């Protein structure tokens, strides 16, 4: 059994509007082990991204406690990388300099990390585009750049907020395969938000299902499918049994 990496205890989030208070999340508990790939699944608007951003220290809590490696989360952390729904690349910077941007923000040596940035781009088949600009790349390629940027400072935890939701089906399948290859290479702990049941089953060791607002964790499903995985596993009865179980959990 690997060590505990992320612990969410009795987490709640309430938004205050001009007229009212909206309880988004109520009393969520979640434990994630080191190097585990965990998906957070649920209907649109249930608070999946809110939970993820709170784990990343990017959103304040209304109640509860979040710990990473035994330390209380009070703000953004150097050992956490984030990949958003949009690649959010800077159009005036080259691909290589987009990947190196977190190194500048952290005040680290660009010279020391340039080799690592190039290696990440090589690993994701982007090295020949390193001097190009984001507008010259496809959506899937831009999202690969965003993943490289999140990994450049070698975080132990990777948070991913529906990173492939805007891609077409074939590109999304390819990106899921690429993500598993990267995860198997670097062995990071991954928290992955998605509204796709099939994507959650394909990628995950475990899936946490969130209920509609005010959200709670309504089900935790262990995905006992063999690794490494390729897309052919989606045609198996075992895969589709998990899809059915998760769909029923969401609808229920």
Mean pLDDT in residue range 120-141: 94
**pLDDT tens digits, 228-240:** 999 999 999 999 9
Rounded Cα gap, residues 216 and 96, in angstroms: 40
- Cα separations (Å) of 50 from 53, 68, 76, 216? 5, 17, 14, 12
Domain ranges of the chain: 1-77+194-252
Q: What is the pLDDT of residue 19?
A: 85
Return the sign of the alpha-carbon dihedral for residues 143, 145, 150, 151.
positive
Rounded Cα gap, residues 58 and 74, in angstroms: 9
Rounded Cα gap, residues 139 and 132, in angstroms: 14
Query: Do residues 11 and 54 lie in contact, with contact meaning Cβ atoms separated by under 8 Å?
Result: yes
**pLDDT tens digits, 136-185:** 999 999 999 999 999 999 999 999 999 998 888 988 999 999 999 999 99
pLDDT value at 130 more than 80: yes
| Three-state DSSP state, 68 | strand
Q: What is the dihedral of CA 110, 113, 115, 118, to 10 degrees?
A: -90
Fold topology of 1-77+194-252: Rossmann fold (3.40.50)
pLDDT value at 1 more than 80: no
**pLDDT tens digits, 45-98:** 889 999 999 999 999 999 999 999 999 999 999 999 999 999 999 999 999 999
Nearest by Cα to 106 from 73, 140, 152, 61: 152
Percent of the chain, pLDDT > 90?
84
Residue 128 is given by DSSP the state G
Structure token digits, residue 185 = 């290479």
Which residues are within 8 A (CB) of 140 and not within 5 positions of it... i.e. 6 or more apart? 167, 171, 174, 175
Nearest by Cα to 98 from 106, 107, 89: 89
Which residues are within 8 A (CB) of 225 and not within 5 positions of it... i.e. 6 or more apart? 201, 233, 238, 239, 242
Structure token digits, residue 147 = 């993943």
Rounded Cα gap, residues 90 and 101, in angstroms: 9
Rounded Cα gap, residues 22 and 141, in angstroms: 37
């Amino acid at each position: 059994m690997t060590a505990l990496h992320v612990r969410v205890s009795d987490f709640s989030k309430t938004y205050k509007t001009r007229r009212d208070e909206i309880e988004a999340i109520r009393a969520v508990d979640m434990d994630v082990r080191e190097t585990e790939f965990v998906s957070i699944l649920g209907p649109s608007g249930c608070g999946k991204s809110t939970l993820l951003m709170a784990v990343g220290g990017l959103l304040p809590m209304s109640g509860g406690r979040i710990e990473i490696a035994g330390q209380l989360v009070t703000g953004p952390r150097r050992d956490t990388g984030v990949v958003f729904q949009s690649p959010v690349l800077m159009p005036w910077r080259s691909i290589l300099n987009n990947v190196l941007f977190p190194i500048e923000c952290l005040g680290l040596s660009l010279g020391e990390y340039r080799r690592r940035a190039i290696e990440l781009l090589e690993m994701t088949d982007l090295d020949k585009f390193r001097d190009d600009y984001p507008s010259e790349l496809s959506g899937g390629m831009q999202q690969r750049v965003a993943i490289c940027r999140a990994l450049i400072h070698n975080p132990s935890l990777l948070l991913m907020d529906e990173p492939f939701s805007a891609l077409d089906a074939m590109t999304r399948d390819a990106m899921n395969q690429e993500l598993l290859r990267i995860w198997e290479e670097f062995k990071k702990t991954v928290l992955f938000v998605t509204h796709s049941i099939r994507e959650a089953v394909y990628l995950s060791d475990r899936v946490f299902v969130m209920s509609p607002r005010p959200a709670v964790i309504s089900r935790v499903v262990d995905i006992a499918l063999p690794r490494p995985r390729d897309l052919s596993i989606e045609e198996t009865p075992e895969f589709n049994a998990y899809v059915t179980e998760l769909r029923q959990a969401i609808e229920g």
